[in-house]
Amino acid sequence: MPAEATIARCATTTGIGLHSGASARLKLLSAPAGSGIQFRRVDLDGFVVEARSANIAKVSYATSLMKKGVFISTTEHLLSALVGAGIDNVVAEIDNLEVPILDGSALPFIEMIRAARPRRQTRRRRVIKIVEKLELREGGKFIGVYPCDRYQLHYQIDFPHPVIGRQRFSLELTPENYERELAPARTFGFLADFDAMRRQGLIRGGSLNSAVVLDEKAVVNGELRFGDEFVRHKMLDLIGDLALLGARLEAEVVADRAGHALHTALVQRLIADRRHWEMVEVEEPSQAPATAAAVGVYTD
């Protein structure tokens, strides 16, 4: 039966926080089986903030955590990479309040995890298995989870922009699929929104190297990594936000223009209502190595 995983050695990076503009050093360290994903603020006497629903603090343009007044901002890309790579237990040491944005994708974090050498632990992996559907709607936004014997995701977005429009993407989450199909997808923003966001104290660390940037007609800073990079990044965010359940899902997840707030609302509703799920040990077939990518992509 598959076991939990951590990393064998530490890996370090430095960068700028997207919203704070603050420089931060991030180090990933191994953690004991059963301990989950934890952030440790080394600038605040090693105060620990666990990546779980009880610590969700603020969700708008990013997902942030807070415990006893200690803040960790923009956690979703790192959390997404850890779940995508199959890492259950890790300590993320950071010396400031925001995880570095790096290139705006999860790929630098995947490279850190690879350099840190994932390793199996002795504890059997347990997952949150959805047994009864749960659906949330907010205006035109939607997210739902349904029983499934795998971790299957579907995401749809619709932006009134000639480069984006309506995009849909589906993926069965395995480490191989995640690294190839999702990790390189970058966050994105619109030049028309920048002044207003900065007046709100946001994107102080934003640059043309940390996001896909669009004017009214086109991308202004180079080529896209995927034709549908935008919806892929939204799915990347979703996986990171759902990591705050504290365990990997065994479910089918469907999202339509959902965003961080609805992602994390789903997390909190699931934690509050145990009739929708049960904690089970993973059986061998659901963790078998991926063969041909179980990915379906189409754009309207």
Report yes or no: 18 and 70 within 8 Å, Cβ to Cβ: no
d(CA 84, CA 246): 14
* DSSP code at position 61: S
Q: Which amino acid is at 225?
A: R
Scored b (16 or more CB within 10 A) or e, 178-209 reads bbebbbbbbbbbeeeeeeebeeeebbebbeee
Q: 46: buried, middle or exposed (CB in 10 Å: 19+, 13-18, 0-12)?
A: exposed
Distances (CA, A) of 271 to 114, 137, 208, 242: 31, 18, 38, 11
In whole angstroms, give the CA distance from residue 132 to residue 135. 10
260 is catalytic: yes
Catalytically annotated residue among 233, 260, 263, 276: 260
The catalytic residue positions are 260
